[in-house]
Amino acid sequence: MEKQEGKPAKRWLKLSVVGALVVGLYFTFEMIATGGRKFFPSVGLVGDKTYTLRVTGENGMKFCGTISITAANGKVMEHDVDGVVPETFGIMGSSVSVTLRKCEADGTLRLVLAKSSETKAEGFTTRPYSSVELGVN
């Protein structure tokens, strides 16, 4: 009789390798498709608009906050975000509300929310640990 002891372990290893490959391909595709931007789609309903949020200021400064998206069907989604300046987010929704806070005392935090190449809202702060709030409908 043939021993079957090593076969489940080999099968598990093969499945793990295939799973890792699929996940890697997904993230590679996501980076290519979004140009390296973080993208927050709502539901992609008729009536939703595509916005770009650019976070600029002192390079390397940390920020955190919330992006709230209202879809055309009225569904509201909130995304907690954190990152390092500069950063760009793609957002799809009928309206968008953004609140980002400086996580450092020094420097300027500047936000620009645009649709296509047209600026819809912008703001900045230089105060220590302060926030910038923007919104568009």
pLDDT in tens, 59-111: 999 999 999 999 888 889 999 999 999 999 988 888 999 999 999 999 999 99
| Confidence (pLDDT) at 21 | 65
Give 118's strand partners: 115
Average pLDDT, the chain: 81
Please give the span between the terminal C-alpha atoms of the chain, in angstroms, as a whole number.
71
Pairing of strands 87-93, 38-40: parallel
In tens, the pLDDT along 55-70 reads 999 999 999 999 999 9
Maximum C-alpha span of the chain: 76
Mean pLDDT lowest for which of 5-19, 43-57, 80-94, 103-117?
5-19
Contacts of 92 (CB under 8 A, 6+ apart): 39, 40, 41, 42, 44, 48, 49, 50, 51, 69
CA–CA gap between residue 38 and residue 95 (Å, rounded): 18
Closest CA to 64 of 125, 130, 123, 126: 130
Q: Radius of gyration of the chain from Cα atoms?
A: 21
Decide: pTM greater than 0.75: no
All structural domains of the chain: 1-33 (no CATH), 38-136 (2.60.60)
| Confidence (pLDDT) at 34 | 46
| Confidence (pLDDT) at 124 | 97
pLDDT band at 42 (very low <50, low <70, confident <90, very high): very low
